[in-house]
Structure 1
Amino acid sequence: MPRSQDPSPRLPASGRRQPLAEVGEVALLKVVTVNATGAFLDWGRPKDLLLPFGEQDFRPAVDKSVLVKINVDEQGRPVASMRLDRFIKDEAEGLAAGDAVTLVIGDRTELGVKAVVEHRFWGLVYHDEYQAVGSRPPRRGERLTGYVKRVRDDGRLDLTLQPLGGARRDLAGERIMAALDDGEGFLALNDKSPASAIKAQLGISKNAFKQAIGGLYRQRRIRLEAAGIRRVEPGADPGVE
């Protein structure tokens, strides 16, 4: 029987509170019960979420996770559906290049990975976009902040995982300055450092790093040294070693 009696969100064995999913969202949820009514999903609430047989693309097993859209039925009760294409549009509205958006990662394709944008529209993150910020593709069901790279003539969205233009440089610069603060004013990275080392330490691509340190140097906020980058106090000459 699905749970219904506990008045507070469920705490798993680890003691961490399960994140709540909301009506209107797309989420990857675990199957906790299957009976003659359908499957019941853990959505972080005391009463499990029904996934009716009629809304299933396949019969999910207990402990497996499924990507669903959370809706309400004719009686106003929350229900889930695996049939995302009935609710997620290919043609986006009200978005423009550079907009920051919430992404929920869907299936892989030959070109990259599909993602649900703002729980309403489909978009695509191309392989080279996620390879620029990490070695692995985003996982199915993972929720990320992304950015609209382009709105195509047909309304379809090309997505990126990094801010565009100046916003991207600002984000990279903020991370570099924070790392300098943590390192007592020194960061052992420079434009010759491997992309993997820059990604591991700062979470940004090498290209974004190089653009950011160029901007910070021009602003006289850092000095470029053979072994890395050093923070410059206001009014000092940055110089180059």
Structure 2
Amino acid sequence: MVKIGQRALLVIVREKPMGVFLDAENLGEILLPRREMPKEWGIGAVVDVFIYLDSEDRLVATMQHPRAMPGEFAKLRCVALTEVGAFLEWGLPKDLLVPFREQKMRMEVGKDYLVKILVDEKSGRLMATTRIARHIDLEPVEYTTGQEVDLIMYGKTPMGYKAIVNGMHTGMIYENEVFQNISLGEKLKGYVTMIRVDGKIDICLQAPRKERVDDLEKQIMGELVARGGFWAINDKSPADEIYEELGVSKRTFKQTIGALLKKRIITQTEAGIRLN
């Protein structure tokens, strides 16, 4: 079944001065405007198109790809304000409407906003919302500790950063576990550290502990060899210095140093660490 807000492979069935018409099965025939037509085409040819409603609520097809599909989150720029709401640029001839009721705060032209793209069930119109919380945590949480997940950063609190996990759930990255600049709307990879009683998810940006420690051991030993067997860094070094040198938290660094000391691969002094 062909649906509004989705891509489909449709057959060209006839030509008119304004473009060609495509057989959209249950939706009838849909116009692919002449400016959108491929360079080479013919009656009976199949084209890959996205279907939506134009500014006059007529079904229309485009070969262009929107920056995000309905059901997905995206960071988009506000390009216009009207009496019905704000409009975002999203890669199609018709900008994407954010009705006033779907704006958590009034939007401003020139600013970027994280939104979820929706299809209005009654009208079939495509729109977006900044009311993110309404559209996450609707499905049961089924993650395992250490699982890699896709993140979209969407909020900052005194505790840390709120993230959308795999497009479905709320996750938290605690402030003391963040050692890089993060911007809202940014897409990152993360790892599940805990599922809380309330169903929320704790996330870190580094790989699971054992893998991190194993990789970091090799990295530290490689650095020691390259530096002639001594490195002026130890578990008393400032956290920002450790992150700048190795890209990990001080806690992870201390765990790794402890493992190397236990294996008697290195010794540690107030001046630094040394290969045995």
TM-score range, shorter chain: 0.5 to 0.7
Following TM superposition, the consecutive aligned residue runs of length 4 or more in structure 1 with deviations greater than 6 angstroms are 180-186, 217-220
Q: How many pairs does the alignment contain? A: 212
Q: Is the 8 A contact 1:103 1:115 kept in 2?
A: yes
Q: Secondary structure at the match of 1:208?
A: helix
Q: Is the 8 A contact 1:29 1:42 kept in 2?
A: yes
Q: Which residue of 1 aligns with 2:152?
A: 104
Aligned to 1:80, which of 121, 124, 128?
Answer: 128
TM-score normalised by length of structure 2: 0.60
For the structure 1 residues 6 and 181, does the alpha-carbon distance in structure 2 shift closer, same or farther, using more than 3 Å as the test? Answer: farther
1:195 aligns with 2:239: yes
1:24 aligns with 2:71: yes
TM-score normalised by length of structure 1: 0.67
Q: Secondary structure at the match of 2:211?
A: helix
Aligned to 2:100, which of 47, 53, 56?
Answer: 53
Structure 2 unaligned residues grouped into runs of 5+: 1-34, 38-65
How far did residue 140 of structure 1 move?
A: 2.7
1:163 aligns with 2:207: yes
Larger RCO: 1 or 2 (CA < 8 Å, sep 6+): 1
For the structure 1 residues 188 and 86, does the alpha-carbon distance in structure 2 shift closer, same or farther, using more than 3 Å as the test? Answer: same
Deviations 1:51-109 (A, max 9, x none): 23342223311012222112334476653111222211166422122212222222334
Q: Is the 8 A contact 2:151 2:165 kept in 1?
A: yes
For the structure 1 residues 90 and 182, does the alpha-carbon distance in structure 2 shift closer, same or farther, using more than 3 Å as the test? Answer: farther
**Max radius of gyration: which structure?**
2
C-alpha root-mean-square deviation of aligned residues, in Å? 3.8
Q: Secondary structure at the match of 1:97?
A: coil
1:122 aligns with 2:122: no
Deviations 1:98-146 (A, max 9, x none): 2122222223345433221111111223xxx33234387x443232222
1:172 aligns with 2:220: no
Q: Which has the higher strand share?
A: 2
* Partner Cα separation in structure 2 for residue 120 and residue 143 of structure 1: 14
Partner amino acid for 1:81?
T
